């Protein structure tokens, strides 16, 4: 019988690589919390309607990529393809925005999209996310972008390009829509089948088309369709970014074709990622989303960053956590000493020291060199004599210095050693 394989488009997270992801997630949490964002978590599956309305029926995600199913009670459910609709639902259903505005939340978790698997595109992938809900302020849009920027700075990632644009408000977009329809209608015969269909439904989405890139290049930009107010809003966002020393590129082609997106939109691109998958993440303002989900109108802004693509960039650039040597290995000299060794390890853990029990039968010198290679700072040896007297012998694996003492004293000495004193 062939062994059962991992499903297509999924990844196993294995040590030692798992430490890299833990470091990326920890770093994101620290940076987000330093800006006042608090942890939030929501279900991995939600009512399908949440995404049909919240992600938008006209998007590729909803049209082609959802993992949807019917539960035993006949309810339509979907594995979450993105975080924002569920996070906004959770915050507004709990009325958090009535206590304080904005509500600042951060999140990390798996997402599911049924797109053709390839490098940087999986069926299951992780995102880290922040949302600032309840205020319509350009300062908050800039803050959200800054948190993303500071996150990659904290990882020491270089070579990122921040692309920003504005979509204006609903009236601006209606004007822009007309300009796009006027441009594309005479070119209809040259459009791909998808774009011809979208022209009637959602002309902004034509700008996302990779096949009709030549036509996209000649399409009108949103600038002339923007009201004075929208221009001023965007000028404030970019002004805040300048003041924060965050370099950005204005990219008038960066659009989201749904009515509830408004004003600021941005993406972070990385040069080492290939082609269409070169975005590590993106976000923007979604002032109309709450109403679409059936809640009172509530503005919001946020981002989602792809964890696998961020990990790929970290690997490419040789980035990762500082190697830690914050544990000890406890080994028994002979099989008869194993119980005593386990008791010593337990006592050390009780004193706050991470202690790994070595239960192999190999030669002591081999076991000591394996312990050093696996990142132990010291080895604690328990033989017949130590077992009888309630002592242990500990060895500094860097200097080779060795000492026998009562277990409580060994714990004190090891704590000092691990603290670097």
Interface positions with ligand AMP (CB under 6 A): 82, 113, 115, 120-122, 125, 127, 279-282, 304, 306, 308-309
Q: Which is nearer to ligand AMP, 55 or 391 (CB)?
A: 55
Strands 391-396 and 376-382: antiparallel
Q: How many Cβ atoms from other residues are within 10 Å of residue 179's Cβ?
A: 16
CB atoms within 10 A of CB 50: 20
Q: Which residue from 28, 18, 38, 31 is spatially nearest to 128, judged by alpha carbons? A: 28
Whichever of 138 and 282 has its CB closer to ligand AMP, that residue is: 282
Looking at the Cβ atoms of 12 and 322, the one nearer to ligand AMP is 12
Look up tokens 């080779």; give the residue. 400
CB nearer to ligand AMP: pick between 54 and 281: 281
- If we measure between CA atoms, which residue out of 281, 386, 293, 401 comes closest to residue 333? 386
Nearer to ligand AMP, 127 or 332 (CB): 127
* Nearest distance, CB of residue 66 and ligand AMP, angstroms: 12
Nearest distance from C-beta of residue 6 to ligand AMP, angstroms: 15
Task: State the minimum distance, in angstroms, from the CB of residue 184 to ligand AMP.
Answer: 24
Q: Are 142 and 237 in contact (CB under 8 A)?
A: yes
Q: What residue spans of 68-192 are helical by DSSP H? A: 84-93, 96-99, 138-155, 170-184
In 3D space, the residue among 102, 94, 182, 183 whose CA is nearest the CA of residue 135 turns out to be 102
- Name which of 281 and 383 has its Cβ closer to ligand AMP: 281
Question: Least separation, in Å, of the C-beta of 16 and ligand AMP?
Answer: 22
- Give min distance, CB of 86 to ligand AMP, in A: 13
**At its nearest, how many Å lie between ligand AMP and the CB of residue 126?**
8
Number of residue whose CB is nearest ligand AMP: 306
**Residue 36 corresponds to which tokens in the numbers above?**
């006042």
Considering beta carbons, is residue 67 or 183 the nearer one to ligand AMP?
67
Taking the least distance from each CB to ligand AMP, the nearer of 79 and 411 is 79
**What sign does the dihedral 103-107-110-113 (CA atoms) show?**
positive
Structure tokens at 166: 């504005």
Provide the strand spans (E) within 29-156.
Answer: 38-39, 45-47, 68-70, 76-79, 103-112, 124-133
Q: How far is the CB of 64 from ligand AMP (least distance, A)?
A: 12
CB 50 within 8 A of CB 86: yes
Say whether the peptide bond before residue 394 is cis (omega within 30 degrees of 0).
Answer: no
For ligand AMP, which is the closer residue by CB, 27 or 391? Answer: 27
Q: How far apart are CA 218 and CA 213, in angstroms?
A: 9
Task: Report, in Å, the least distance between residue 55 CB and ligand AMP.
Answer: 9
Residue whose CB is less far from ligand AMP, 28 or 395: 28
Inter-residue contact 144 to 132 (CB < 8 Å): yes
**CB 222, CB 164: distance < 8 Å:** no
> Considering beta carbons, is residue 122 or 234 the nearer one to ligand AMP?
122
Rg, Å, the chain Cα set: 28
CB of 170 to ligand AMP, least distance (A): 21
Nearest approach, Cβ of 113 to ligand AMP (angstroms)? Answer: 5
List the Cα angle 42/47/53 in 5-degree steps: 100
Q: How would you classify the pairing of strands 402-406 and 300-306?
A: unpaired
CA neighbours closer than 13 Å in the CB half-sphere of residue 372: 11
* Maximum CA extent, the chain: 93
Query: Smallest gap, in angstroms, from Cβ of residue 411 to ligand AMP?
Result: 45
Instruction: Identify the CA nearest to 348 among candidates 416, 410, 421, 417.
Output: 410
């Amino acid at each position: 019988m062939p062994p059962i394989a991992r499903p297509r488009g999924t990844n196993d997270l294995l040590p030692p690589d798992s430490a890299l992801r833990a470091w990326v997630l920890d770093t994101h949490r620290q940076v987000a919390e330093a800006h006042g964002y608090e942890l939030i978590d929501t279900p991995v599956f939600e009512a399908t309607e949440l995404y049909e309305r919240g992600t938008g029926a006209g998007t590729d995600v909803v049209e082609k990529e959802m993992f949807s199913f019917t539960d035993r009670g006949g309810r339509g459910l979907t594995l979450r393809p993105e975080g924002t609709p569920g996070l906004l639902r959770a915050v507004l259903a709990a009325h958090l925005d009535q206590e304080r505005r904005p509500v600042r939340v951060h999140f990390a978790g798996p997402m599911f999209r049924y797109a053709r698997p390839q490098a940087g595109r999986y069926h299951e992938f992780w995102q880290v996310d922040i949302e600032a809900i309840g205020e319509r302020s350009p300062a908050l849009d800039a803050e959200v972008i800054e948190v993303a920027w500071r996150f990659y700075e904290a990882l020491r990632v270089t070579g990122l390009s921040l692309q920003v644009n504005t979509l204006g408000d609903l009236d601006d977009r209606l004007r822009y829509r007309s300009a796009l329809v006027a441009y594309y209608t005479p070119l209809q015969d040259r459009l791909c089948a998808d774009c011809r269909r979208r022209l009637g439904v959602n002309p902004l989405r034509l700008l996302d088309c990779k096949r009709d890139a030549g036509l996209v290049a000649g399409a009108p930009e949103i600038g002339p369709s923007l009201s004075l107010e929208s221009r001023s809003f965007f000028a404030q966002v970019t002004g805040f970014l300048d003041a924060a020393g965050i370099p950005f590129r204005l990219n008038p082609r960066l659009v989201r074709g749904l009515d509830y997106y408004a004003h600021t939109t941005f993406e972070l691109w990385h040069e080492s990622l290939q082609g269409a998958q070169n975005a590590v993440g993106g976000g923007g303002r979604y002032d109309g989303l709450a109403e679409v989900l059936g809640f009172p109108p509530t503005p919001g802004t946020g981002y989602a960053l792809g964890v696998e693509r961020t990990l790929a960039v970290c690997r490419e650039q040789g980035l990762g956590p500082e190697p830690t040597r914050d544990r000890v290995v406890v080994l028994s000299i002979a099989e008869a000493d194993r119980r005593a060794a386990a008791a010593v390890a337990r006592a050390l853990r009780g004193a706050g020291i991470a202690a790994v029990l070595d239960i192999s039968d190999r030669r002591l010198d081999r076991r000591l060199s394996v312990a050093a290679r696996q990142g132990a700072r010291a080895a604690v040896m328990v033989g017949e004599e130590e077992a009888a007297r309630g002592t242990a012998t500990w060895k500094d694996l860097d200097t080779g210095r060795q000492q026998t003492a009562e277990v409580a004293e060994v714990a004190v000495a090891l704590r000092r050693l691990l603290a670097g004193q």
